[in-house]
């Protein structure tokens, strides 16, 4: 039978959109359905790092760390607008401890029992040496030692910290990454449905009949293969949507972040180690803020919206207060967000210890195939998509090989160090933009920012002003190109302007989008 599509992808997080882009680029006929907005769940709630995962070295997750380290620079080249290098300052103090369960801590307790779970400085340096060399580096600088007594890095920290190690990783605007992958998938032939839930999928011999429920009501489509990238819902989609038996399980681990007003003057991040074996980051965020996270808490039901509990907030405040001179209180928290990690259940006892690697499983059960995706990191999404295509290709004829490495996402077609030049060019095109506004547009849209401001001589030419430099021209772009239909899609996922807009402004934007929606789409 000729089906409507080759692949029906369930879930518009980073893994679904990454696979959609890769598969569409290889000529497969792809449809993707996301029940809410793109990246509404985990993929907008991460710590937003393209990182190797320094702490995973203690769990001997060398495959994952190596793949992620190599990937950082591949991704950076393909999206220099939404990703950029960052330096991480790791202050050392002898009270820092391992998590008891790590293979490293077990080994250390055997060979150096007198350390009693403490992390020695030489071990951290060894880990950073591996971090520098496991994945190779061409763009990112390596590790160095920082004197906290004399450098700016030490200024906001308590005096007991004398030195730190400083290493590299990268920032990524997680939810923009998802939207740009979806756009590129569509440009290569995929059909992207947002606010469309996959209600049921029935295996009918060699194909699937899939029931979608979205803005146009309920309808059915057919596909040869189902790809389940439901993130926290992956298990539920297997059991309740596709009604397939499986022994595979996931573990839902909530992670929360708090945001405060900017806590220090430089652009580096901090990597803080706790006495409980966990680590947290403090990261310069959206120019005027500091992002602090994250936690590891069991979360049993994906349908319960993850929220930062008071206990998690206080844990993060206490953790940070162990490092910063400035005493932080609940009053300093201006925003929180929370997400659920859909981790593959590898039987680890603690949430912190559960593997962060991904696992792909094909279920054929005598009929049309279904690929289920468990776990994964934002950092490894492109490699995960390539691995998924390796599993998908045998079911189709003549599927070409991998192609996405280094291929720019929309707006990312400029040099890794070219952001300043892009900002200057944009200001030359639209001289009414100040540096901060131009930078925001370039960081969001890259070379495409020029299209948003094209032909405008003044800010008034950009149409209605919704506040915090969000104008009608940008909103129309996001509605027509990036699947935004509600104010929250724009102020919390396509941007973080929600941190600067009042609730009244956000409500007015929402009303405008509902009223103008049909005409904008037309
Ligand atoms: C606190 C935290 C911090 C993290 N930090 C980092 C980091 O710094 N770096 C990094 O690399 N990784 C990080 N991660 C991991 C990363 O965010 C996740 O691995 C990744 O976002 C998972 O993406 P996904 O596409 O699998 O899931 P999701 O983004 O959750 O997408 C699944 C989608 O499926 C949709 N869906 C479910 N059921 C249906 C249905 N029936 N029909 C239609 N749609 C459906 C959902 O609405 C959802 O949007 C972090 C995770 C958390 C929670």
Angle at 430 between CA 504 and CA 507, to 5 degrees: 10
**Ligand 1 mean position, distance from CA 144 (Å):** 33
Read off the pLDDT of residues 54-79 as tens digits, 9 standing for 90 and up. 888 888 888 889 999 999 999 999 99
Please state the rounded mean pLDDT for residues 5-14: 98
Q: Computed over its alpha carbons, how large is the radius of gyration of the chain?
A: 23
What pLDDT shows up at residue 518?
76
Residue 435, number of CB atoms within 10 A of its CB: 10
**What's the rounded Cα separation, in Å, for the pair 135 and 112?**
29
Cα maximum dimension of the chain: 72
Q: Which helix (H) or strand (E) holds 337?
A: strand 333-344
What pLDDT shows up at residue 105?
67
Q: Residue 306 CA: which ligand 1 atom is closest?
A: 53
What pLDDT shows up at residue 190?
98
Indicate if the alpha-carbon torsion angle 49, 278, 376, 228 is positive or negative.
Answer: negative
**What's the rounded Cα separation, in Å, for the pair 474 and 40?**
20
* 233 within ligand 1 shell (Cβ under 6 A): yes
Q: How far is CA 307 from the centre of its chain?
A: 17
Q: How far is residue 56 from each of residues 18, 62, 131, 496, measured CA to CA in Å?
A: 24, 8, 10, 29
**Ligand 1 mean position, distance from CA 449 (Å):** 27
What pLDDT shows up at residue 350?
75
**Ligand 1 mean position, distance from CA 311 (Å):** 23
Backbone angles phi, psi at 275, to 5 degrees: -80, -10
Q: Residue 340 CA: which ligand 1 atom is closest?
A: 53
Q: Which of 43, 191, 215, 250 to mutate to test the pocket of ligand 1 (most atoms within 8 A of CB)?
A: 43
Read off the pLDDT of residues 73-108 as tens digits, 9 standing for 90 and up. 999 999 999 999 999 999 998 877 656 667 666 666
Q: Residue 237 CA: which ligand 1 atom is closest?
A: 41
What pLDDT shows up at residue 426?
98
Q: Residue 49 CA: which ligand 1 atom is closest?
A: 8
Nearest to 188, CA basis, from 21, 406, 410: 21
What pLDDT shows up at residue 269?
98
Contact partners, residue 506, CB within 8 Å, separation at least 6:
487, 488, 491, 498
Q: Residue 293 CA: which ligand 1 atom is closest?
A: 1
Helices (H) and strands (E) in the chain, counts: 14, 20
Task: Give the 3-state secondary structure of 305-324.
Answer: CCCCCHHHHHHHHHHHHCCE
What pLDDT shows up at residue 42?
98
What pLDDT shows up at residue 476?
97
* 15 within ligand 1 shell (Cβ under 6 A): yes
Read off the pLDDT of residues 283-307 as tens digits, 9 standing for 90 and up. 999 999 999 999 999 998 999 999 9
Contact partners, residue 9, CB within 8 Å, separation at least 6:
16, 19, 20, 30, 31, 32, 33, 227, 229
Read off the pLDDT of residues 143-186 as tens digits, 9 standing for 90 and up. 999 999 999 999 999 999 999 999 999 999 999 999 999 999 99
* 292 within ligand 1 shell (Cβ under 6 A): no
Nearest to 316, CA basis, from 377, 252, 272: 272
What pLDDT shows up at residue 352?
72
Question: Hey, is 195 helix, strand or coil?
Answer: coil
**What's the rounded Cα separation, in Å, for the pair 275 and 289?**
26
* 13 within ligand 1 shell (Cβ under 6 A): yes
Read off the pLDDT of residues 392-428 as tens digits, 9 standing for 90 and up. 999 999 999 999 998 999 999 999 999 999 999 999 9
Question: Hey, is 167 helix, strand or coil?
Answer: strand
Q: Residue 341 CA: which ligand 1 atom is closest?
A: 53
**Ligand 1 mean position, distance from CA 45 (Å):** 8
Whose alpha carbon is nearest atom 3 of ligand 1?
Answer: 46
Read off the pLDDT of residues 460-487 as tens digits, 9 standing for 90 and up. 999 999 999 999 999 999 999 999 999 9
Q: Residue 37 CA: which ligand 1 atom is closest?
A: 49
**Ligand 1 mean position, distance from CA 125 (Å):** 32
User: Are 243 and 230 contacting, i.e. CB atoms less than 8 angstroms apart?
Assistant: no
Q: Which helix (H) or strand (E) holds 289?
A: strand 289-293
* 201 within ligand 1 shell (Cβ under 6 A): no
**Ligand 1 mean position, distance from CA 17 (Å):** 11
**Ligand 1 mean position, distance from CA 278 (Å):** 22
pLDDT band at 116 (very low <50, low <70, confident <90, very high): low
* Distance in angstroms between the alpha carbons of the first and the last residue of the chain: 35
**Ligand 1 mean position, distance from CA 226 (Å):** 18
**What's the rounded Cα separation, in Å, for the pair 475 and 506?**
12
Q: Residue 197 CA: which ligand 1 atom is closest?
A: 42
333 has a pLDDT exceeding 90: yes
What pLDDT shows up at residue 97?
67
Whose alpha carbon is nearest atom 34 of ligand 1?
Answer: 11
Read off the pLDDT of residues 206-263 as tens digits, 9 standing for 90 and up. 999 999 999 989 999 999 999 999 999 999 999 999 999 988 889 999 999 999 999 9
Contact partners, residue 88, CB within 8 Å, separation at least 6:
166, 167, 168, 169, 268, 269, 270, 271, 281
Backbone angles phi, psi at 296, to 5 degrees: -135, 105
* 312 within ligand 1 shell (Cβ under 6 A): no
CB-count burial class (<10 Å; 0-12, 13-18, 19+) for 159? exposed
What pLDDT shows up at residue 443?
98
Q: Residue 241 CA: which ligand 1 atom is closest?
A: 41
* 251 within ligand 1 shell (Cβ under 6 A): no
**Ligand 1 mean position, distance from CA 172 (Å):** 14
Q: Which of 13, 234, 308 to mutate to test the pocket of ligand 1 (most atoms within 8 A of CB)?
A: 13
Q: Strands, DSSP E only, in 135-265?
A: 144-147, 163-172, 191-193, 197-204, 207-214, 217-228, 250-261
**Ligand 1 mean position, distance from CA 256 (Å):** 14
* 12 within ligand 1 shell (Cβ under 6 A): yes
């Amino acid at each position: 039978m000729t089906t409507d599509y080759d692949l029906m992808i369930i879930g518009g997080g980073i893994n679904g959109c990454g696979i959609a882009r890769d598969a569409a680029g290889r000529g497969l006929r792809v449809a993707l359905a996301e029940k809410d907005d793109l990246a509404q769940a985990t993929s907008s709630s991460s710590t937003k790092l393209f990182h190797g995962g320094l702490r995973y070295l203690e769990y001997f997750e060398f495959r994952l760390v190596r793949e992620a380290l190599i990937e950082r620079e591949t991704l950076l080249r393909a999206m220099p607008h939404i990703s950029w290098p960052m330096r991480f300052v790791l202050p050392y103090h002898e009270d820092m401890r391992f998590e008891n369960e790590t293979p490293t801590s077990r080994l250390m307790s055997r060979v150096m029992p007198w350390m009693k779970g403490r992390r020695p400085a030489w071990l951290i340096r060894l880990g950073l040496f591996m971090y520098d060399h496991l994945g190779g580096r061409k763009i990112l600088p390596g590790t160095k030692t920082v004197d906290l007594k004399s450098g700016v890095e030490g200024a906001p920290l308590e005096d007991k910290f004398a030195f730190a190690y400083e290493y590299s990783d990268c920032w990524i605007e997680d939810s923009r990454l998802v939207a740009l992958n979806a756009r590129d998938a569509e440009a290569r032939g995929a059909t992207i449905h947002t606010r469309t839930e996959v209600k049921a999928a029935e295996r009918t011999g060699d194909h699937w009949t899939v029931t979608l429920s979205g803005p146009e009501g309920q309808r059915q489509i057919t596909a040869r293969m189902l790809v389940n990238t439901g993130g926290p819902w992956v298990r539920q989609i297997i059991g309740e949507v596709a009604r397939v038996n499986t022994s595979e399980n996931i573990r839902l681990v909530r992670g929360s972040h708090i945001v405060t007003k900017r806590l220090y003057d430089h652009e580096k991040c901090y990597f803080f180690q706790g006495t409980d074996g966990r680590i947290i980051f403090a990261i310069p965020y959206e120019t005027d803020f500091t992002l602090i996270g994250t936690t590891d808490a069991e979360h049993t039901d994906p349908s319960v919206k993850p929220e930062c509990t008071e206990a998690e907030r206080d844990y993060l405040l206490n953790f940070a207060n162990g490092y910063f001179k400035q005493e932080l209180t609940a009053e300093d928290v201006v925003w929180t967000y929370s997400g659920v990690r859909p981790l593959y259940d590898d039987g680890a006892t603690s949430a912190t210890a559960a593997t962060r690697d991904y696992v792909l499983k094909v279920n054929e059960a005598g009929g049309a195939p279904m690929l289920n995706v468990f776990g994964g990191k934002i950092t490894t999404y492109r490699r995960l998509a390539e691995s998924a295509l390796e599993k998908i290709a045998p079911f189709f004829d003549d599927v070409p090989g991998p192609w996405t490495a280094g291929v720019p996402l929309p707006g990312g077609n400029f040099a890794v160090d070219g952001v300043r030049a892009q900002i200057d060019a944009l200001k030359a095109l639209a001289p009414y933009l100040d540096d901060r506004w131009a930078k925001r547009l370039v960081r969001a849209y890259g070379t495409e920012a020029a299209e948003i401001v094209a032909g405008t001589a003044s800010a008034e030419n950009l149409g209605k002003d919704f506040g915090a430099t969000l104008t009608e021209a940008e909103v129309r772009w996001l509605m027509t190109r990036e699947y935004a239909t509600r104010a929250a899609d724009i102020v919390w996922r396509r941007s973080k302007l929600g941190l600067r807009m009042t609730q009244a402004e956000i409500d007015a934007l929402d009303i405008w989008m509902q009223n103008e929606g049909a005409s904008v789409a037309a």
